[in-house]
């Protein structure tokens, strides 16, 4: 991937998958469909709650949280008010759950937030919370199945709460053969160039800390 693909500013590496509808890296579509077929054999309707996400979408998420117009939660999932936090605290709180624009793994089309559409009633609003994937939650069976089977198709969980600063996300799976190359290629310099040109809330503070933030939230993951 080139710098613009890595930072979500173009989608020349992305293709659309039909049913279920999602946007994926051109080399991820086939393994994802294979994973989906295996899940279907177990009675699950595997779908993407989120797949490819571009820079502008991630920027909107970031700015909304920083400015307090979008909900933000702490490490335990409790709602917090951006107005109660210093600028540095806001940055740290956002990064628990949301990536910097240009640094989201969803920009690569390699990462998917997975749900089982057969596990919920019509009209159910998926929240992507840990309780949904824990024992008693609607996606507990899916979570257990993915833990056993996802690696056979090249997928792994990059955020388990061990090495990365990102909170554990049992729904977030990544296609290792493509994503690992992208992770190594997304340097602080490439990320800085993308952010310097963007109307990023808290930009001065972010750029001042960029090397640290890149190491903790981009370079450091829980390995395949």
Q: What is the pLDDT of residues 174-183, one digit of tens each?
A: 999 999 999 9
**Per-domain boundaries in the chain:** 3-219
Instruction: Tell me the per-residue pLDDT of 183-204, one tens digit each, with 9 for 90 and over.
Output: 999 999 999 999 999 999 999 9
Instruction: Tell me the per-residue pLDDT of 28-57, one tens digit each, with 9 for 90 and over.
Output: 999 999 999 999 999 999 999 999 999 999
- Distance from chain centroid for Cα 10: 18
Model confidence at 169, pLDDT cuts 50, 70, 90, reads: very high
Cα–Cα distance, 108 to 28 (Å, whole number)? 10
CA angle 17, 21, 24 (to 5 degrees): 45
Cα–Cα distance, 140 to 68 (Å, whole number)? 32
DSSP code, position 114? E
Burial pattern 21-53, b for ≥16 Cβ within 10 A else e, equals: ebbbbeebbebbbebbebbeeeebbbbbbbbbb
Determine the pLDDT at residue 82. Answer: 86
Over range 87-94, report the average pLDDT: 93
Cα–Cα distance, 45 to 33 (Å, whole number)? 11
Cα–Cα distance, 28 to 178 (Å, whole number)? 8
Model confidence at 76, pLDDT cuts 50, 70, 90, reads: confident
Pure H helices in the chain:
3-6, 29-40, 55-67, 87-95, 130-133, 140-149, 176-185, 188-196, 203-208, 210-214
Nearest to 114 by CA among 20, 209, 46, 45: 46
Sole residue written with tokens 């992507």: 128
Using DSSP, state whether 204 is helix, strand or coil.
Answer: helix
pLDDT at 18 over 80: no
Mean pLDDT of the chain: 94
Least confident of 62-66, 72-76, 185-189, 212-216: 72-76
Cα–Cα distance, 215 to 60 (Å, whole number)? 23
Cα–Cα distance, 24 to 129 (Å, whole number)? 23
Over range 11-40, report the average pLDDT: 93
Model confidence at 216, pLDDT cuts 50, 70, 90, reads: very high
What CATH number was assigned to the domain covering residues 3-219? 3.30.1380.10
């Amino acid at each position: 991937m080139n710098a613009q693909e890595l930072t979500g500013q173009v989608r020349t590496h992305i293709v659309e998958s039909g049913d279920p509808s999602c946007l994926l890296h051109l080399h991820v579509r086939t393994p994802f469909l294979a994973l989906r077929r295996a899940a279907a054999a177990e009675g699950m309707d595997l779908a993407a709650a989120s797949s490819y996400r571009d820079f502008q979408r991630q920027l909107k998420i970031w700015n909304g949280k920083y400015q307090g117009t979008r909900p933000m939660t702490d490490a335990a999932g409790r709602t917090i008010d951006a107005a109660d936090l210093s600028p540095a605290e806001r940055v740290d709180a956002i990064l628990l759950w949301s990536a910097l624009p240009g640094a989201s793994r969803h920009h690569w089309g390699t990462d998917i937030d997975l749900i089982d559409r057969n596990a919920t009633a019509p009209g159910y609003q998926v929240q992507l919370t840990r309780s949904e994937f824990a024992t008693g939650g609607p996606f507990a069976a899916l979570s257990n199945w993915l833990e056993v089977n996802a690696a056979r198709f090249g997928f792994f969980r990059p955020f388990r709460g061990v090495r990365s600063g990102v909170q554990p996300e049992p729904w977030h799976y990544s296609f290792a053969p493509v994503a690992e190359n992208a992770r190594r290629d997304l340097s602080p310099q490439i990320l800085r160039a993308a952010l310097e040109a963007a109307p990023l809330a808290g930009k001065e503070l972010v750029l001042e800390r960029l090397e640290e933030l890149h190491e903790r939230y981009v370079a450091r993951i829980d390995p395949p």
